[in-house]
Structure 1
């Protein structure tokens, strides 16, 4: 049982339970730097207490010179159950309906949350499949899981190089066919196009190179920065690069170092009082559908190897000081060139839909009735653009 065998004092458990009751769950976990349990809890005096934090903090009560026991030094499964049983405490499994398929962060599962196995991560909603490495569809991917045995996947600093699914022999792991740009593979490309984040789950052994480490660590949100084709065993494979989202994820290299040393995973630095912009990625998808990925300014419709490509461009920028809404009335469907020129304050739109390029008329903005475009946002962008470039509004 290792370090847990040194936890023998029932009063340490009682004191921990009393502190949990007085502080409340959130404050208790925050004070001791513990991660919340997802499914397994200890039933103590009519309360359900997060099982591993209970034992870790109780260890510190019994051995104050050492402090709380690192939760990395014992498992949340049978080892925790046996330790609690010595104090007459039962380990309770909270079976809950798994969250619906969703993008972005999962409530009550911050980066650094550890799961006993893939099933537990599935039930928490972090990775909604117990077998596949990609949880996603052609329209978008919600999460990926890095497991050992996939030598193609690499971690370097805050970057992850990830190989798509398919084309492997289940027994040897070698590629025996080309991978296809479909389902979750195509979904990762859609995430790249929309800037939509992906949750990343990783088996601990991938980080520590120790086969005995079988838990799974949720690293948080990552964005797909590039994608393309490569070759493995003579077959075509899809290769993606993902970067950790600052404040919303852990850096894999740092997690690997902590786990190898037997330390707790440090949560990402983020303020509980910070205002964060939550993008509604369905808005960008909607405006693209309205215009069939055709630029509203120049009429360009780009066709790539995975189909048509366009970009959703916010008119009044999100966040301080502009505080533009993330709604359909404040977004345009543009080609990459026009998007860059629009964000770079070269392109503006007049009230009569005339598109201006550095003050010179260059065409008309196409607007369908279903768009519901708010021209006040375009007027704001024009005023902001002409002011920032030193040009007077209406100059020729």
Structure 2
């Protein structure tokens, strides 16, 4: 083993060797990497090995936090002699976080709480205007921010040209703005700069001392969007969800969330699982009789789609631990003379949730409870009781086998989703 604290020569550029991966890393290699991290200091360590700061996953050891991907890359060097850089491998829940956790380390998600808290505080204190005779705050800035967050969730460009902003945000202001309020997208495009979360580029300095006219916007083609710091914070799915919840609860409490999210491009937040596509109904284009009933064989069509590859071994493991018994209702089903249950992810794997495929993010559920859980009809409160978002269910404890760990952060994420979409979001 290479002695802890050894400084790797950054001029050395080895190539990756066949068969070498994260599986080569052992506990002692990670410890050596963390010791070097402490010796050099965070900034020098990241600079030496060409890594950026962690955006989602941090290794926590002895009350210190380490950038998990950088630690893994350096630990790989201690293990094999090949010191990986950020571009050499992918990070995230299914790779680096999983590797470190399997070695016995604690890996937590999220940005530093101070940065996230500052972001949420700025969202709660937008400098919104109040129209004459209407005490309610204008919705122009909140709606524009939700639209911009949907672009961030889709990994679209950070800055948007004025014509695109005008044409896409303008109709949102008409549909979801205050009654009798004028749709003036130029105002949020410019004045969101006062939040310190937003920037506008492309307006000459001599014209930027006061708000330019729409004619100036049309002439100079400026771009606007989140600052780099804000965009980086919103890359984290947990921070992004909290930002959406803060905006809705502060400025859009009485707006129908289903319609709002459909309009702003945030439909992914109306479910904890995959969105259902009505066009996939096999009978949609089939022949029908005079009463509208399907006749003849169901139609077929060719389709190509990208699906998330789930770890089937993890699904089998959670079912075995829970004895194929639903953790919510206690039902044990049988199908084809075999026990039947479903492995449900607490925080969805797909966009926009990007949850990890790990045991701590899985529940063993019957199909009925799985649908209700993904459909945000039921949630687990902070005391471990399963409740209905409509208040129409008697609470009952979530069954937990002692051998089945569950990450409370994932449960809290699902609970926030339920609060966000419920008409009466009193879910703790």
Report the TM-score, using the length of structure 1 for normalisation: 0.30
Report the TM-score, using the length of structure 2 for normalisation: 0.28
Q: Which has more strand, going by share of residues? A: 1
